[in-house]
């Protein structure tokens, strides 16, 4: 259960049903004497703060993965992600880590992992990825995504929503 504090000063308390693109669907707490289900869809950009109720249960059961400690470890993680994507799309897709700073590439790999999970969540995404991409290159530099000759190039560090939008536009 969460309470969302909006920039307008309003608050909404309820259960998060889903987060899709740039909105959050919140099931409101039942009103006294009412059996109606109320769902409010709120743009993420309007949320100023969030209170997570009974957070001790989540914190106790959640482990935060450690970042890659070396370039070799990062390449191992990229290979494992490539193997996972290959399994999901039923076509070999390698993920290559370009030269650059570990501190810049490691967060990019984590965001790529989350974004690819979203792409592979439905048949259309898996099909488009399998059809158009042979390898994924992770690079440092100006943030962006491009696709040419079967190579999907992801450069720079981007927020998950931006990376997802850019992947959707090139796939």
User: In sequence order, what DSSP letters do the residues of 34-84 get, joined into one string?
Assistant: -----EEEEEGGGEEEEEETTHHHHHHH--PPPPPSSHHHHHHHHHHHHHH
Convert 29-38 to b/e letters by CB count within 10 Å (16 or more is b): eeeeeeeeee
**Number of domains into which the chain is organized:** 2
Higher pLDDT, 82 or 33: 82
Is this structure's pTM higher than 0.75? no
Its domain, for residue 148, covers 71-170
Residues 114 and 43 reside in one and the same domain: no
Q: Is the pLDDT of residue 54 over 80?
A: no
Domain boundary among 13, 28, 61: 61
Is the predicted pLDDT of residue 38 greater than 90, yes or no? no
Residue 54 and residue 108 in one domain: no
What's the Cα-to-Cα distance from 89 to each of 80, 117, 124, 146, rounded to whole Å?
14, 11, 10, 20
């Amino acid at each position: 259960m969460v309470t969302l504090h909006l920039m307008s000063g309003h608050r909404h308390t309820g259960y998060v049903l889903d987060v899709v693109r740039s909105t959050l669907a919140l099931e409101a707490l039942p009103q006294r004497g009412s059996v109606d289900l109320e769902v409010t869809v709120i743009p993420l950009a309007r949320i100023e703060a969030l209170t997570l109720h009974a957070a001790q249960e989540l914190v106790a059961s959640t482990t935060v993965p450690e970042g890659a400690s070396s370039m070799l470890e990062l390449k191992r993680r990229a290979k494992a992600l490539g193997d996972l994507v290959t399994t999901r799309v039923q076509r070999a897709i390698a993920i290559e880590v370009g030269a650059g700073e570990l501190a810049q590439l490691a967060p990019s790999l984590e965001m790529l992992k989350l974004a690819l999970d979203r792409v592979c969540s439905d048949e259309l995404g898996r099909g488009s990825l399998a059809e158009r991409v042979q390898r994924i290159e992770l690079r440092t530099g100006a943030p962006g995504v491009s696709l040419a000759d079967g190579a999907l190039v992801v450069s720079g560090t981007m927020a998950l929503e931006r990376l997802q939008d850019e992947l959707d536009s090139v796939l």
